[in-house]
Every structure is written in C-alpha cells, then in structure tokens.
Amino acid sequence: MKTWPHSYELRLQVALSPRGDLILTSRIKNKNADGKPFQFTFAYHTYFSVSDISEVRVEGLDTLDYHDNLQSKIRCTEQGDAVVFESEVDRIYLSAPPKIVTIDHEKKRTFVLRKKELPDVGELASFFFLNLAYSILWKHEWLLWHLILFTSMVCRR
C-alpha cells in the first residue's frame, strides 16, 4: 500500500448492556510483516447534542493538567470542580480519570463516559480531549454540539 505501508488489525465490538449502556471494545494488533516499528493514533469521537452550552457542565476533570489549544497549547491546571462553558474551549486533559460526566441542566440529561484500559505504551500518556467548537445550523435551528474524545497514541515494535 502506498499511503500506509504497514499491516495491522483493528477490531471493534459494539454491544448494548442489559441496563442500556453502549459498550465499545477495541483490540489493536500489529501484524506488520516487515517487523519495522510504526506509530498511529486513534480516538473515539463522542458527540452530544446539548440544549444550551451555557447550561452544560463536565465533571471529573477537576485538578487535572491540560494544554489549552486556544492559548498556544500552554499547560494549565483545571481550577473548578467542573468545566463550564462561557466561551469556546479547546483543551487536552492529561491523565484523565476512567469516568467523565456531562450534565445538560436545561434538558435534564446526564451522559456518563467510562474508559477502561485505553492503552498507554511506553511513556506515552493517555489523553482526554475536551473540545467545544461547534455550532451547527440544522433545519433552520441552531444546535449546539459538545465533543469529547478519548484517545491514545500507540507505538508498536
């Protein structure tokens, strides 16, 4: 293959638990026949339609360090007990916990994201991306979207 000369396998299992939880399980295997190391990244993109972004808060990120992409990726520490949105946010949270909760007060809805064993390899850290940058016009109504990504860099030898 000219664009990606390495072979690998990605398996994704999607299941619905008896309680109604959506469960995604991924397995990544390096099947690189030539034995040369390679790197790639992957992420689960989770989009939520929310009523009014000023009524949304994200819990579970308190005291975490993050890189602020809107301020030249400077490293900061989350100060509040929850992330609230007063303006655009584009942050990379480092060493995120296994549970993140998004609460939409206006719609009286709560989304709980859990991660387990999102692989860290060597000294690479697992990252949690919190990115709010979307206002989408859909059927003449403004819908606000909130995006959360769980991601990891994988380096296989």
Residue that wins the pLDDT comparison between 28 and 115: 115
Cα separation, 111 vs 109, whole angstroms: 7
Angle at 136 between CA 16 and CA 109, to 5 degrees: 40
Confidence check: pLDDT of 101 > 80? yes
Any domain includes 126: yes
Any domain includes 30: no
Any domain includes 19: no
Confidence check: pLDDT of 142 > 80? no
Confidence check: pLDDT of 73 > 80? yes
Residue 128, Cβ neighbours under 10 Å: how many? 23
Any domain includes 33: no
Write the CB contacts of 126 (distance below 8 Å, at least 6 apart in sequence).
Answer: 95, 96, 118, 119, 120, 150, 151, 152
Any domain includes 27: no
Domain count, the chain: 1
Any domain includes 20: no
The residue segments making up the domain with residue 65 are 40-156
Determine the average pLDDT of the residues in 85-103. 80
